[in-house]
Chains A and B, each alone.
Chain A
Amino acid sequence: MPFTVPEKADWLAKVQLFRGVPRPALERIAERCTEVDFPAGHYIVQQGQIGNGLYLIVTGRAKVVRGDVEIAEFGPGDFVGELAVLDQMPRAASVVAEDDVTCLALASWDLNALIEQEPAVAMNLLRELTARIRSLGQQHHH
């Protein structure tokens, strides 16, 4: 059964990306989010495609693969697909559902508007991307 807007907003409130965002803004974001289901094995985003949005994982797990190499694994509360929206380059990696995955999808233009209107979201996103860069560097190292 699809989530209602308040249910989506409740869920968004618990996600790191939206920490510090006031409730009315969360409700506006929730209205923009579309629920999308991906059966196990299906692509959530595909390498080489133009980025059309951000996917927040509500349930299930997904892996990020580039060519044949698994780069990362993500689960509930994580988001994928943001890089192609930000740098407007084709997607650098694919994200594949490992089991049945339910996402909330936010279109590129809604994400860009959100970043401009909600400094807290931009800050959380900046922090998360920075952490991902650092963790890649550490994997390189060891």
Chain B
Amino acid sequence: MSQNDLVDTMAGLVLFGDLGRPQLAEAAHTFTEEAFPAGQRILRQGFAGSGFYVILAGEVAVRIDGEERARLGKGDFFGEMSILLGEPPTADIVAIGPLRVLQLGGPDLEAFLKRHPMVMYRMLLSVARRLSNANRRRS
């Protein structure tokens, strides 16, 4: 995807919704675009050494001990929990069909978020919503 098309796609994702064109271009430059075939495992439960991923196109399944718990699609992100906590992923993330993502190496995530507080704020909102839902499911 050309840099311009990539910036256009990113502008439509909630996570990057507050960034202006120059910041989006900088973000596009920081991330690496990657493609995975259907069935590819991107994060592996219990195994360290992973990155942060934002889905550009396609869908992934979240599987714990082989059982599907959730699906994530365009604009959703994964991998941040392991990076932030410094622990291996607690789920497998598997591409359902052809998948395109933006990838950022674990050690670069914190610096990126601090450089872009509005992205961090969007991520915080999303994580807060996830925690609320997890609390609701528990009771």
Contacts and interface: CB of A to CB of B under 8 A. Distances in A.
Interface of A: 66-67, 69, 71, 82-83, 86-87, 89, 92-93, 115-116, 119-120, 122-123, 125-127, 129-134, 136-141
A126 B130 CA distance: 12
B124 A115 contact: yes
A127 B85 contact: yes
Contacts of B129: 86-87
B117 A119 contact: yes
Contacts of A133: 81, 127, 130-131, 134
- Find the residue from B64, B114, B117, B135 having the highest chain A CB count within 10 A: B135
Give chain B's interface residue range (CB within 8 Å of chain A): 20 to 34
B47 interface: no
A71 B131 contact: no
The 10 closest A-B pairs by CB, nearest first: A86-B128, A66-B139, A119-B114, A69-B139, A136-B134, A122-B120, A129-B127, A130-B84, A127-B84, A87-B128
Contacts of A141: 64
Contacts of A93: 135
Contacts, number: 88
A124 to B, nearest CB: 10
Contact of B121 (A116, A120, A131): A116
A130 B135 contact: no
B135 A136 contact: yes
B110 interface: yes
A131 B120 contact: no
A92 B85 contact: no
Nearest to A93: B135
A71 B135 contact: yes
A137 B87 CA distance: 14
A141 to B, nearest CB: 8
10 contacts: A86-B128, A87-B129, A119-B114, A122-B120, A126-B124, A129-B127, A130-B80, A131-B85, A133-B134, A138-B90
A69 B136 CA distance: 11
Contacts of A136: 131, 134-135, 138
